[in-house]
Amino acid sequence: MLGEKFANPEFLWLLLLLPAIGYYLWWNRRKLTLTLQFSSLRVFGNIPPTLRERLRHVPLALRLLAIAVFIVALARPQSVSDKQNISTEGIDIVLELDLSGSMLAEDFNPNRIEAAKQVASEFIDGRTNDRIGLVVFSAESFTQCPLTTDYPVLKNLLREVKNGMIADGTAIGLAIANGVNRLKDSKAKSKVMILLTDGVNNRGEIDPITAARIAATYGIRIYTVGVGAQGEAPYPVQTQFGIRRQLIPVDLDEKGLTQVAEMTGGKYYRATDNRKLKAIYKEIDQLERTKIEVTAYKRYTELYGGWLFGGLLAVIAEVGLSMTVLRKNP
């Protein structure tokens, strides 16, 4: 009866005037009441009040009730039948993050790992109904967070990942296989992996191409992102004099990452700085949004008619009682 929303909720503020209206009506009725003067009312002291006396304030209460109901009708309560019409087709996404030692290189600000975590966090903020999971890897791979829509928990787990959690190395094939295990039983309309790395597969029992072939059989699309400046990148090295930077070569298997992406219907990207990395994730975000379009239909049903009818009944009841059983003389 009240509905899920009001078309004109500002009119509900008029309900705050009801106490003042009630007092005004009561005072007017009191002024219209004629009084008879007696030398003493003591003789009437033991007479119990009649039913009419007990109900004398009912017409005033009915009038206030009618005013309140008319105010609610003026605010136009509505019911929303969107549950029957909205078709939800979510996307399941697994973010895969390289934690190998080379990800500490400082060609990104402050380094590759922190830059990747920041951009991934912003990517998560941009999603709404999709399930997102997190897989990390270096020499081995494990699931940091399974597929979830609890984005605050996911971002906290993303914030905690760091180099040194796993033995050093780059097991790209294992990371893809781990992501496949998370997505293969998914009922989502679209299944996506976003794999970020700065190296060449050198660890693990499965190679990236074989893992990508398996992913393709499950309809999983892989976007691969290679990070690293062109040529060499500064890398922090601990010495007896403190941390010093030395240049290390950027060794990135772009050919392999491109092949993995193309085999699964995805795309390979190369990020050389923070700005480029953000642009890549933004493009992936837009690509996946355009593939799944959800059209929402909302139908609003007006409910004010019932409130108007209820208000009219209260008015009729007030007038009827005031002119019959609760009539005052004069």
- 186-204 pLDDT, tens digit per residue, is 988 899 999 999 999 999 9
Contact indicator for 59, 32 with CB cutoff of 8 Å:
no
> Does the structure show a pLDDT above 70 at 127?
yes
What residue ranges do the domains of the chain occupy? 5-82+299-323, 91-291
Q: Is 94 exposed, middle or buried (0-12, 13-18, 19+ CB in 10 A)?
A: buried
CATH for the stretch 91-291: 3.40.50.410
pLDDT number for residue 15: 79
| Residue 329 pLDDT greater than 90, yes or no | no
Question: In terms of pLDDT, which residue wins out, 152 or 7?
Answer: 152
pTM for this model (two decimals) = 0.64
Dist CA 189 CA 166 (whole Å): 33
Tokens 């209206």 correspond to what residue? Answer: 21
